[in-house]
Amino acid sequence: MIQANEVRIIDENKEQIGVKSLKEALSIAGDKGLDLVEIAPKAVPPVCRVMDYGKFLYELHKKAHEAKKHQKQVQIKEIKFRPKISIHDYSFKVRHVLRFLEDGNKVKITVMMRGREKAKPELAQNILKRVFEDTKDNGFQDGGIRRQSWAVSTLLSPKKSGGKDAKTKNAQGSKEEVQSNGKEKDSLQ
């Protein structure tokens, strides 16, 4: 697969061997029972490394998996309202919206309309305004309000990033926590 006649060789210990012909490089790799892998094809001459190619691919996959594991996946949760929602249902759903925002997730607020409600989209906008007002401490409107014939929707994003795994919360054993634990123990004795 290597097209060049001469290549610069690096051995398995990452030390330079020098510039050799392609045949010599392949024989060096073959003698060690390893593969010749082209690392920098655009260099003059191209740089090749003597290594176990299967192990190299495994390590790349392992590094990619580790990097992916430490990323925070932001999910979009959806809560649906109706224009004539009862007070209890409204407060129950707003509590869910607040919990989702505290966890660091985005929340899509959808107000669904049926029948004659479609003629009065201002009812749906009033519900959205109430939700914005009740969640203004935890989130903000991300983007505009989308209108369809059957619904009005928008997206809320959390004000502070992080969520459950954020380092902003008081870590166990921090200075404040240790001091407060000591005060509680003194008052008990």
114/82 Cα distance (integer angstroms):
9
Q: Which of 47, 32, 34 is nearest to 2 (CA)?
A: 47
- CA–CA separation, 35 vs 29, rounded Å? 6
pLDDT of the residue at 99: 93
Distance of alpha carbon 4 from alpha carbon 48, whole angstroms = 11
Count the residues in the chain. 189
Alpha-helical regions (H) of 70-120: 87-102
| pLDDT value at residue 87 | 92
State residue 89's pLDDT score: 93
Q: Spell out the domains of the chain, with CATH numbers in brackets.
A: 6-54 (3.10.20.80), 76-158 (3.30.110.10)
**pLDDT, position 161:** 56
Cα(150)–Cα(110) distance, integer angstroms: 10
Average pLDDT for consecutive 10-residue bins of the chain (189 residues)? 86 89 89 89 90 89 86 83 92 93 90 89 89 90 86 88 48 45 46
Residue 148 confidence (pLDDT): 87
* Alpha-helix residue ranges (DSSP H) falling in the chain: 22-32, 53-69, 87-102, 121-134, 175-188
Q: Is-above-0.75 flag for pTM?
A: no
pLDDT of residue 164: 52
Say what the pLDDT of residue 177 is.
44
